[in-house]
Amino acid sequence: TPPEQIRNFCIIAHIDHGKSTLADRMLQITGVVQPRQMRAQYLDRMDIERERGITIKSQAVRMPWQVLDETVALNMIDTPGHVDFTYEVSRSLAACEGAVLLVDAAQGIEAQTLANLYLAMENDLTIIPVLNKIDLPSAQPEKYAEELAGLIGCEPSDVLKVSGKTGEGVEELLDEIVTQLPAPEGDPDAPARAMIFDSVYDTYRGVVTYVRVVDGNLTPREKIAMMSTKATHELLEIGVISPEPIPSEGLGVGEVGYLITGVKDVRQSKVGDTVTAASAPATRAIGGYKDPKPMVFSGLYPIDGSDYPDLRDALDKLKLNDASLVYEPETSAALGFGFRVGFLGLLHLEICRERLEREFALDLIATQPNVVYDVTMDDGSEIVVTNPSEFPYGKVAEVREPVVKATILVPSEFIGAVMELCQGKRGQMGGMDYLSEDRVELRYTLPLAEIVFDFFDQLKSRTRGYASLDYQDAGDQAADLVKVDILLQGEGVDAFSAIVHKDKAYAYGTMMAGKLKELIPRQQFEVPIQAAIGSRVIARETIRAIRKDVLAKCYGGDISRKRKLIEKQKEGKKRMKNIGSVEVPQEAFIAALSSD
Ligand code: GDP
Ligand code: MG
C-alpha cells in the first residue's frame, strides 16, 4: 500500500472511558470482524488470548475504510495505557501520526487523559478530540466539549461526539481520521528501518514483534538485524493483522504489521529498537530506544521453601515474556531462599506476582516493596541500594531517592483534602489549574516511595473516589532517610528492615514491633522486640514468657488429643524459623508482611 493511502492512529483515554468498546465498534463497522462473530465468538476468543497473555486485536489492526472512492488502510495501534509502562506507551505513539483522544461524556477529563495527551503532544501527533458514551442519560456533552476544547485549544464544535456502544458517530470519526491525519512519510529507497513498538511471546510461534516501517521495506526470508544488539535473524514471516495475522510479501514505508523470526526470548526484540536489513543496514537507529529501568524492588519468596527451584524456573519463563523483569537470588534469615525482583512499578509487581502464582502454581510471599536509593558516603563513594539490608551504617553523606511528578484531578471541593494528603507524603506543590469551574488539576513532586504504598487508596478514600492520579519519573532528590531495623532479642530480622524518612521512623518502628508482638507466640523466656536506627533503639515491645500452668496444659488430656497435639507440633516445627534463640512460625512473618 502506498503511504498516501495509509493512516496510523491510536486511541488514548483514561481507563474505562471506552477505548476497547470503541475499538470493537471500529472493527465491526469496517467489516474486519463480522457482527455475528463479534458477539458470539470474537470476544470470547479474545478472553482466551488474554488469559494466555497474548492479544491479537490489541497490538495493531489494519482496517480498510472507504472515503469517497479511495480505500485507505487504517492502522489502529493499541497502547499499554498504564503509568508503569509509559515508555512502551510513548513507543506506540511514536508509531502513529495521530491520536484519538477519547473522553467519557459523563465524566470529563481525568488524570490519564492528560498524561496520554502530553505524551501524544511530545510525539507531535495530530489530536482528534472525541467525547464518548453520548448515549448515557448522564452525559453532558456540551459541558465536557468545552472542557476538552479548552485543554487542547480548539473550538467546542471541533469535538466529535460518539457512542462506542451504539456505534453513533463512529463512521464520521473514521472519516475524520482519514481527512485530519497526515499520511506517513519516509524514504522508500533508503535502507530499511522499522521501529519495534511491542513484542509478545506466543507459545506456538515464539516472539511476535510489532513494527512500524519508517524507511525502505522488509521482505520475508531476508536476514534482519536489531540495531541495539546487532543480533541477526531470518525473517520467517511478515504480515499485517486484520484481525488475524495475515502473512504478506513485505511491509513498506508507513506500514504497520508483525514479524516472526522464531526467536524464543523477548529480550531479542526490544521495544523502541530499530530493525534493519542485515545485508544493507541503516546507519542510524530511529532513536528513543531505552532499556526499561526497574523502579520498585521486592523480595519474592516461596511460602514452601522446597518450591525455590520452581520459582527460579518460573521467573526465567516469565522473563521470556517480559523483558523488563530483573531478578537475582537473595536469602533472608526470616524467609529463606528467594529472589530480589525489580519491577517498573507497583502494578507491574502485582501483575508479575499474580502470573507467577496463577500460571506456575506457586504460593509466594513478597516483602515490602522499596524504591532504589543512591547513597553517597563521606569518602565520596557511591552505593546503590535495592534492598534495605544493603543500606550502609554510619559515614553517610547523602541519600537520594527517586521522585515523581504527579498530576491529580479532583472536584474542587476536595482540594483541601488532597493538599493535606500530599503534604503528609512529603509532596512539594508545583501548581494548580482549574479545568472548569468545579474541577481542578493539582501538580506535585512526590517521593516515589510515598506513592508506592497506599497513596492511591488514601487519595480515593479522601475524595470519595473522585480523584484520578497519574505520575512520571522526575529523577531523584536528597532526603533525610534512615534505615530502621527490627530486632528480636537483639537479633535483626532482615525482612522487616525498611528505609524511611526520619520523621516516620518512630511510627514505622512502633507499628512493626506492635504487629510482631501480636503474631509471635510466647516463648519460655521473655523476648524483647526493638526497632532501632543503627545502635539507637527507638521503640520497644516485650513478648512475655509462657507461664508454667499454660505449659502444663499440654501434658494433660486424653491420649488421642495428646497425639494430635504432638503431630501438630511436628507440622509446626517444619515451618519454624530461628532468629537467634527465638522460634518464630513462618506464618507470623507472612502475616506481618501481608496485612495492610
Ligand atoms: P477502556 O478501559 O477505555 O477500554 O473502556 P471499555 O471499553 O472497557 O469500557 C468501559 C465501560 O464503559 C464498559 O462497561 C463499557 O460497556 C462502557 N462503555 C464503553 N463505551 C460506551 C458507550 O459508548 N456508551 C455506554 N453507555 N457505555 C460504554
Ligand atoms: Mg480496555
Span 51-68, pLDDT tens digits = 544 444 456 889 999 998
* CB of residue 195 inside a 6 A radius of ligand 1: no
Neighbours of 219 (CB within 10 A): 15
State the average pLDDT for the chain. 86
Paired residues of 328 in beta bridges: 340
Give pTM, 2 decimals.
0.77
Residue 113, phi then psi, degrees to nearest 5: -60, -50
pLDDT above 70 for 544:
yes
Residue 281 alpha carbon to ligand 1 centre in Å:
44
The answer to whether 400 and 373 have CB atoms below 8 angstroms apart is yes
- Helical (H) or strand (E) element with 66: strand 60-67
The answer to whether 180 and 196 have CB atoms below 8 angstroms apart is no
pLDDT above 50 for 462:
yes
* CB of residue 19 inside a 6 A radius of ligand 1: yes
For 479-501, the pLDDT digits (tens) are 999 999 999 988 888 888 899 99
- Among 115-119, 155-159, 198-202, name the one with the lowest average pLDDT: 198-202
Taking the CA atoms of the chain, what radius of gyration do you get in angstroms? 28
pLDDT of residue 549: 54
Residue 440 alpha carbon to ligand 1 centre in Å:
24
Would you say 16 is a known binding-site residue? yes
pLDDT band at residue 40 under the 50/70/90 scheme: very low
Gap between the Cα atoms of 343 and 237, Å rounded: 32
Going by C-alpha positions, the residue among 97, 114, 107 that lies closest to residue 151 is: 114
* CB of residue 81 inside a 6 A radius of ligand 1: no
Residue 243 alpha carbon to ligand 2 centre in Å:
17
pLDDT of residue 401: 96
Instruction: Write out the E strands in 115-253.
Output: 126-132, 160-161, 193-202, 206-215, 223-226, 232-234, 237-241, 245-247
User: To 10 degrees, what angle do helices 111-122 and 86-94 make?
Assistant: 50
Q: What is the mean pLDDT of residues 569-585?
A: 68
Q: What is the ipTM of this complex?
A: 0.99
Gap between the Cα atoms of 80 and 135, Å rounded: 27
SS3 content of the chain, % helix, strand, coil (to 5): 35, 35, 35
* CB of residue 14 inside a 6 A radius of ligand 1: no
Q: Is 3 helix (H, G, I), strand (E, B) or coil?
A: helix
For 165-214, the pLDDT digits (tens) are 999 999 999 999 999 999 999 999 999 999 998 887 777 888 889 999 99
Percentage of the chain lying above the pLDDT 90 cut = 52
Neighbours of 15 (CB within 10 A): 13
Nearest residue CA, atom 24 of ligand 1? 133
pLDDT above 80 for 93:
yes
Gap between the Cα atoms of 263 and 12, Å rounded: 31
Q: Is 456 helix (H, G, I), strand (E, B) or coil?
A: helix
* CB of residue 13 inside a 6 A radius of ligand 1: yes
- Among 283-292, 362-371, 481-490, name the one with the lowest average pLDDT: 283-292
pLDDT of residue 459: 93
Would you say 19 is a known binding-site residue? yes
- Among 323-337, 352-366, 372-386, 536-550, name the one with the lowest average pLDDT: 536-550
pLDDT above 90 for 418:
yes
Q: What is the mean pLDDT of residues 83-111?
A: 86
pLDDT of residue 565: 57
Residue 167 alpha carbon to ligand 1 centre in Å:
12
Q: Which residues of 308-346 are buried (b: 16+ CB within 10 A; e: fewer)?
A: beebbebbeebbbbbbbbbbeebebbbbbbbbbbbbbbb
pLDDT band at residue 570 under the 50/70/90 scheme: low
Residue 524, phi then psi, degrees to nearest 5: -75, -5
pLDDT of residue 56: 42
Gap between the Cα atoms of 170 and 489, Å rounded: 68
Neighbours of 132 (CB within 10 A): 31
Gap between the Cα atoms of 505 and 189, Å rounded: 63
C-alpha cell at 115: 498524561
Place of cell 526490544: 270
> Cα(first)–Cα(last) distance of the chain, in Å?
55
Burial class (CB in 10 A: 0-12, 13-18, 19+), 595: exposed
Gap between the Cα atoms of 219 and 124, Å rounded: 29
